[in-house]
Amino acid sequence: MILVFGRSGQVARELARLAPQAHYMTRDQADLSDPETCAVAIRSYAPRAVINAAAYTIVDRAEEEEALATRINGTAPAAMAEACAALGVPLVQISTDYVFDGRGNAPFLPEHSTAPLGAYGRSKLKGEEGVRAAGGCHAILRTSWVFSAHGKNFVKTMLQLGAERDTLHVVADQIGGPTPARAIAEACLSIALQLQDDPAKTGTYHFSGTPATSWARFAHTIMFKAGLRCQIREISSKEYPAPAPRPLNSRLDCTSLNVFGLTQPDWQTELDNTILELKGMS
């Protein structure tokens, strides 16, 4: 049995579709703000593998709630990793491009030095460090710009605003890879199963959609595919200030995924599927 932390988030919901036989821990069952409950759950269920699909993801609010974000994104994964290491079972931990400072134009390799710009990135980096320090079998999977038909994400926001407004101003100088939550879920399951057979694959990996694009170009594509007439006006990050700084370069080098036989998903194809799903839900 695979134990999954999270039930309502984007990746967790896709995991539930793909692997309904797994056991999903809700916040009532294991609150990540109380990390010991996570360790207790792992020891109680003694699963074959653990996937942590739960996190504090409100990037701007994390600037005010860094202690809470760090407990959820940092201390809780460390507690999970220690429990997994004691049982000898693999842990798949989802991380983020926000652990990097976004400098330059080249895609970041997994081994590139980290330098998060804000509280959210620092909290996720703390989780990475805790997972590694536990010494057990694990995969840290950094991803970016997650979207699906569920939860809060850029695609849903653009579709809602695009139906209400004639023009939207969207940042054009932040570049990254939109990543479908379903593809992340598939990757997590594949990695968890492979780690059981080959713990030597332990390490840090990158997984993001291709091709790289800007938020503005992503928005253009969303409007076009959805048949919306809303115009996208490109602006700079300086023209759209936010409490938490965002990395300008969120490109991730994903070539190391070859170890697991995985390739980058085409976000444009999955965007079509997401829009169709949302239309079916309306």
Tell me the pLDDT tens digit for each residue of 25-57.
998 898 999 999 999 999 999 999 999 999 999
Tokens of 160: 């809602």
In contact, 179 and 267? CB cutoff 8 Å: yes
Does some domain include residue 117?
yes
Residue 211, preceding peptide bond in cis (omega within 30° of 0): yes
Does some domain include residue 240?
no
Q: Which residue has the tokens 């059981």?
A: 196
Q: How far is CA 273 from CA 36, 173, 218, 243, 276, in A?
A: 39, 27, 15, 32, 5
More confident residue, 279 or 265: 265
Does some domain include residue 278?
no
| Average pLDDT of span 10-24 | 96
Q: What is the per-residue pLDDT for 27?
A: 87
CATH code: domain of residue 24: 3.40.50.720
170 pairs with which residues across the strands? 234
| Average pLDDT of span 58-65 | 97
Q: Is 56 a catalytic residue?
A: no
Could you tell me which of 1, 49, 95, 19 has the C-alpha nearest to residue 199? 49
* 138 has pLDDT over 70: yes
Catalytic position from the list 24, 56, 120, 205: 120
How many domains, in total, are found in the chain?
A: 1
Does some domain include residue 225?
no
Does some domain include residue 272?
no
pLDDT digits (tens, 9 = 90+) for 204-261: 999 999 999 999 999 999 999 999 999 999 999 999 889 999 999 999 999 999 999 9
Does some domain include residue 221?
no
Calculate the average pLDDT of the chain.
96
Q: What is the per-residue pLDDT for 273?
A: 95
* Calpha distance 271→218 (Å, rounded): 10
* 178 has pLDDT over 70: yes
Q: What is the per-residue pLDDT for 205?
A: 98
pLDDT band at 279 (very low <50, low <70, confident <90, very high): confident
Q: What is the per-residue pLDDT for 165?
A: 96
Look at phi and psi of residue 151 and say left if phi exceeds 0, alpha if psi is from -120 to 50, else beta: left
pLDDT digits (tens, 9 = 90+) for 96-136: 999 999 999 999 999 999 999 999 999 999 999 999 999 99
Does some domain include residue 280?
no
* 282 has pLDDT over 70: no
Q: What is the per-residue pLDDT for 28?
A: 86
* Calpha distance 241→245 (Å, rounded): 8
Per the structure, the complete domain to which residue 29 belongs is given by 2-147+179-210+252-265
Does some domain include residue 107?
yes
